[in-house]
Amino acid sequence: MKKANIVCGLVGMSFSAFAFIRTLSFRQFPLVPIGPEFFPRHMAIGLFVCSAVLVIQSLVKKNKKNEKAPTISPFDKGMQRLFVGIAIIIAYALLWEPLGFLIATPLAMAALMLLLGYRRYNDSCFFLGDNAGYFWRIQFLFECFYAGRHSAGITVNRL
């Protein structure tokens, strides 16, 4: 496990250094203080720092006898939760366009809360109802006062 952590940390550090160097070639805009290089550059710095911490922890940590590396098995309950969570996020991304952000997000959040063991159904129902009510109130206000649509999705031509 110690060797794998060191190798993964070094790979992460090299990838982040490559990404940082690539951001130096991004086009600079004269009057824009935060350009297109800002976010990737800071992500590369964060990845480098986290990878360096992983390498340092692996070098400092004492190697325990009989330490077994965890296996990645699709039959493990944690891995099954991971796959279901990824499926929920993919479904959320696919439903974003037809349903809109304000309808798809509470549904995805409720599904993820249920997946992660949050079982307080009264709070979950309030969360869903509150967001749906918020959406319809904002939609109504935009329709009345601004004579325009607030968002696209399933609610187009509903009001």
Q: Each residue of 2-52: pLDDT tens digit?
A: 788 888 999 999 999 999 999 999 888 888 778 888 888 999 999 999 999
Q: Total structural domains in the chain? A: 2
Range of the domain at 30: 2-60
The answer to the question of residue 66 being in a domain is no
The answer to the question of residue 65 being in a domain is no
Predicted TM-score (pTM) of this structure: 0.47
Report whether pLDDT(90) > 90.
yes
The answer to the question of residue 101 being in a domain is yes
> CA–CA separation, 115 vs 112, rounded Å?
5
| Cα–Cα separations (whole angstroms), residue 17 to 57, 93, 123, 124 | 20, 30, 45, 43
The answer to the question of residue 17 being in a domain is yes
> CA–CA separation, 69 vs 72, rounded Å?
10
